[in-house]
Amino acid sequence: MLTLLRRVVPLALVSVGLVSMSGCAGTSPSAGSSGGATGSAGGAAVPGEPERLGWWSDARFGMFIHWGLYAIPAGVHGDKNTYGEWIRSEARIPVDEYDRYRTQFNPVKFDADAWCRTAKAAGMKYIVITSKHHDGFALFDSAVTDHDVMDTPFKRDILKELADASRRHGIKICWYYSIMDWHHPDYLPRRDWEKDRSTAGADYDRYVGFMKSQLKELLTNYGPIGVLWFDGQWEGTWTNERGYDLQKYVRELQPDIIINSRVGRSGGAYGLEADRAERLGDYGTPEQFIPETAPTFPWETCMTMNGHWGYNAADKNFKSADDLVRKLVDIASKGGNFLLNVGPTAEGAIPAESVERLRAVGRWTFVNGASIHGTVGSPLSAQSWGRCTAKYTEDGNTTLFLHMFDWPADGKLRVTNLLNKPLLATPLADKKPSGLAVDRDGDSLVIALPAKPAQMEPVTVVKLVVEGKPDVVTPPVVEADAGIFIDSMKARVTSGQKNVEVRYTLDGSEPTASSARATGAIAIDRSATLRARTFRDGKAMSSVVERKFEKVTPREAVKGVAAKEGLEFEFVKGDFDRVPKFESFADRARGECRGLDLSKATEPNHFAMRFTGYLDVPRDGVYTLTLGSDDGSVMTLGNGVLIDHDGLHSYEEKSATVALAKGLHPFGVSFFEKSGGYDLKLFWSTPGGKKEAVPAGAMKR
């Protein structure tokens, strides 16, 4: 599936290991990690969340199925056995040779009902299957191509059978669809190794018309579809404008369908970094990792069970069932969904190792599913013993599901920073509530656990019912445009906790109940250390938060330069994984351009460019500069690096803040492109001002 090695997630977001070409994730987070922090609420009742997301947010757990012609070689080509669903591209198989797999596709063991029973027994509520992956092969009866399942010995519409079976078993059926298509003659760009496959006559707009025709088939011939899961959107031919158009087209066919963020290019990190106004689709799609903290909008982690999305017979590196259960819990505690992949064999069977693990996960969800399905993310701060999910009941009270990854050594489960009155505590596995004793110790509830079981589950759940909505001790939040200023600035200190006052100091001293109260903007005109905490009835409630603000002198502009509009650029060819040292290339091409103009590149892949000149700053101020790129980039300002955004990744943005005087400031942007689509953008904003693209007229030489 989804992305190549170059689609690397920023390390700051990774909680479960590295993303690799094969998609193998690492171990689950430890109980003492930062997981379990305050989560975004899931479910249909979340303010601002479209009603169509209600069933999906309640579901929390789904099955991803990657299946197609790539299951036939089972990962083997030539002397290598490490391939998966990307085999045609990675092994450089010509399209005519790859098409021969169609004559071999005959999955006689395919049983749609068996697949649905496996998903349902695991506690999964929806299925997302690859209707068409990057190789262009359709698992359905498509009238607009012969590259489909009806042109194989099998000659059965797999999606029709699976859609019918899913409804019989009460599971939502959803489609994955790849925007990228290595087979269609009008899709551009070609793979960079396809030197003998001419692009003459290819028309990308005509390909988009073909894609819409297939999507119309998928959304009119199979009844209501829960999710349309797009992928393959990162190549340069696809744009956000096309994404908006496609989203509109799909919604005209099925208004209630849910669409993922990959319908568009914006957002970086699979939609996790974009502002709501910039995001396309209904939810973000982190791949092979779980965010460290809960995003503030709907999201879903998709993940493989072993190291491949498509079937690879040699890959036996399967995650354990215990690990999968903990990942499910971790994701639900942050208000997310878990889309767990299986890659069926060429015969149509889900691998035995996958079935075994799904059955084990199902044994846990059969007992503890109420702590996952229909829950929202944790209202608690991080807890050392594990994770928490919640349900808000019609009587106005709150049910907290306390997921213990580790059994407390003293047999007492401490729920910290929770002020509500406890009403009931019981092991969720108990068919009849046993009424565990609950005592208060300051801001914590202490639950006396029963005897430690001889055979521990991967996660043991205690159900805790408390009176009212959660009253959780949380530290205040300091909001400011930047940590530096020239003349003066304003900061705000707020708290999400009800019935508290926020008190603060600016001299670094400990806030007390008599310190200044934060009721609006706090004016700062000298370097200061702002410290704040919450109080209730004169009693300190939260820990102290601190943020330093520094009054600075702006960097001076250069004098005596008669600059004119435009930049100088250098271009070199090469297969790079990092921004190269341009000085080491004696034959680098040079020229002039307007702005960061990648159209000056003479190759679609495997190149690097460097742009140099001056930023013409319109007025003194503190500027936040944002560099967005696919792949890596570095921005220098003056004599040093300001933004290091180097390395292999899809489109992502990275920012830095600096005080600049009005005038010209020497700068440079270096960039490299490995393969696939590429993009390079530079934005700036002043405090209180909006982020906007640096105009080409402000880049001079």
Segment 444-456 shows an average pLDDT of 88
**492-523 pLDDT per residue, tens:** 999 989 999 999 999 999 999 999 999 999 99
Q: Which residues have C-beta within 8 Å of that of residue 236, sequence separation ≥ 6?
A: 189, 604, 676, 677, 678, 679
Residues 519 and 582 in one domain: no
Ramachandran assignment for 437, one of left (phi > 0), alpha (psi -120 to 50 degrees), beta (any other)? beta
The pLDDT value recorded for residue 29 is 31
Read off the pLDDT band of 247 (50, 70, 90): very high
Q: Count of CB atoms within 10 A of residue 72's CB?
A: 20
pLDDT digit string, tens, across residues 527-569: 999 999 999 999 999 999 999 999 999 999 999 999 999 999 9
pLDDT tens per residue across span 51-107: 999 999 999 999 999 999 999 999 999 999 999 999 999 999 999 999 999 999 999
On the question of a cis peptide bond just before residue 107, with omega within 30 degrees of 0, the verdict is no
Give the C-alpha separation, 260 to 174, whole Å. Answer: 11
Residue 189: C-alpha distances to residues 195, 204, 234, 377, 677 (Å): 12, 9, 11, 41, 9
For the beta sheet containing 444-448, the strands, ordered from the edge strand earlier in sequence to the opposite edge, are 412-415, 444-448, 438-441
What is the extent of the structural domain holding 167?
12-35+53-366
Contact 651, 268 (CB under 8 A): yes
- Strand, coil or helix: 598: helix
Question: pLDDT tens digits for 635-675?
Answer: 999 999 999 999 988 788 899 999 999 999 999 999 999 87
Domain assignment of residue 472, yes or no: no
Which of 334, 366, 398 corresponds to the end of one domain?
Answer: 366
Query: Of 542, 473, 551, which Cα lies nearest the Cα of 506?
Result: 551
Does the pLDDT of residue 38 top 50, yes or no? no
Please tell me whether residue 309 adopts helix, strand or coil conformation. coil
230 assigned to some structural domain: yes
Give me the sheet containing 489-494, strands edge to edge.
477-479, 489-494, 522-524
Query: Looking at residue 20, what is its pLDDT?
Result: 28
Task: Identify the band that residue 266 occupies on the pLDDT scale cut at 50, 70 and 90.
Answer: low
Residues 138 and 151 sit within 8 Å (Cβ to Cβ): no
Q: Are residues 597 and 647 in the same domain?
A: yes
What is the pLDDT at residue 456? 79
Which of the four pLDDT bands, split at 50, 70 and 90, describes residue 430? confident
What's the rounded mean pLDDT across residues 126-151? 98
617: domain CATH number?
2.60.120.1560
Cis bond before residue 471 (omega within 30° of 0): no
Calpha distance 192→677 (Å, rounded) = 12
Here the CATH number for the domain that contains residue 310 is 3.20.20.80
For the chain, the helix, strand and coil percentages under 3-state DSSP, each to the nearest 5 = 20, 30, 50
Residue 40: left if φ>0, alpha if ψ -120 to 50, beta else—which one? beta
Q: Please check whether residue 324 lies inside any domain of the structure.
A: yes
Q: How far apart are CA 385 and CA 461, in angstroms?
A: 11
The rounded distance, in Å, linking the Cα atoms of 216 and 257 is: 13
Q: Two tokens at 69? A: 């012609």
Report CA Rg, the chain.
Answer: 28
Residues 176 and 250 in one domain: yes
Q: Is residue 43 assigned to a domain?
A: no
Which one, of 341, 324, 358, lies nearest residue 128 by Cα?
A: 341
**Residue 372 falls inside a structural domain:** no
Q: Which pLDDT does position 269 carry in this prediction?
A: 58
Q: 137 lies in a domain? A: yes
Rounded Cα gap, residues 510 and 61, in angstroms: 45
Phi-psi region of 611 (alpha: psi -120 to 50; beta: other; left: phi over 0): beta
Spatial distance between the Cα atoms of 159 and 128, rounded to a whole number of angstroms:
11
Q: Are both 104 and 128 inside the same structural domain?
A: yes
CA distance 109 to 348: 5
Integer angstrom CA distances of residue 157 from 148, 152, 607: 9, 11, 43
User: Same domain for 220 and 323?
Assistant: yes
Pair (165, 259) in one structural domain: yes
Nearest to 219, CA basis, from 172, 264, 268, 253:
253
Q: Name the residue among 103, 118, 233, 230 with its Cα closest to residue 171.
A: 118
Distance CA 62, CA 337 (A): 8
Q: Strands, E, within 34-124: which ranges?
A: 61-65
Look at residue 335 and tell me whether its pLDDT is greater than 80. yes
Instruction: Check which CATH number belongs to the domain holding 452 and give it.
Output: 2.60.40.1180
Residues 535 and 581 reside in one and the same domain = no
Query: Is residue 505 assigned to a domain?
Result: yes
- Cα separation of 285 and 270, whole Å? 5
Q: How far is the C-alpha of 245 from the C-alpha of 255, rounded, in Å?
A: 14
Domain closes at, from 508, 525, 551: 551
- 536 φ, ψ to 5°? -135, 125
* Inter-helix orientation angle 352-368/321-333, to 10°: 50
Is residue 193 predicted with pLDDT exceeding 60? yes
CATH of the domain at 536: 2.60.40.10
Other CB atoms closer than 10 Å to residue 41's CB: what's the count? Answer: 20
3-state secondary structure of 116: helix
Distance CA 204, CA 185 (A): 9
Residue at which a domain ends, from 333, 366, 399? 366
Beta strands (DSSP E) in 245-397 are 258-259, 300-303, 337-342, 386-392
Write the secondary structure of 121-158 as one string of H (helix), E (strand) and C (coil): HCCCCEEEEEEECCCCCECCCCCCCCCEHHHCCCCCCH
458 and 497 co-located in one domain: no
Q: Which two tokens stand for residue 667?
A: 């700068």
Number of structural domains the chain divides into: 4
What is the spatial distance between Cα 23 and Cα 468, in angstroms, rounded to a whole number?
43
- Predicted confidence band at 688 (pLDDT cuts at 50, 70, 90)? confident
Residues 6+ away with beta carbon under 8 Å from 308: 22, 23, 75, 84, 85, 315, 343
Residues 239 and 313 in one domain: yes
Contact 643, 634 (CB under 8 A): yes
CA distance 646 to 634: 6
CA 138-142-146 angle, to 5 degrees, is 75
Q: What percent of the chain has pLDDT over 70?
A: 91
The answer to whether residues 220 and 74 belong to one domain is yes
Same domain, 23 and 110: yes
Residue 1 lies in a domain: no
Mean pLDDT of the chain: 90
* Residue appearing with tokens 């999201």: 299
Q: Does residue 216 share a domain with residue 151? A: yes
Ranges 176-180, 455-459, 654-658: which has the least confidence: 455-459
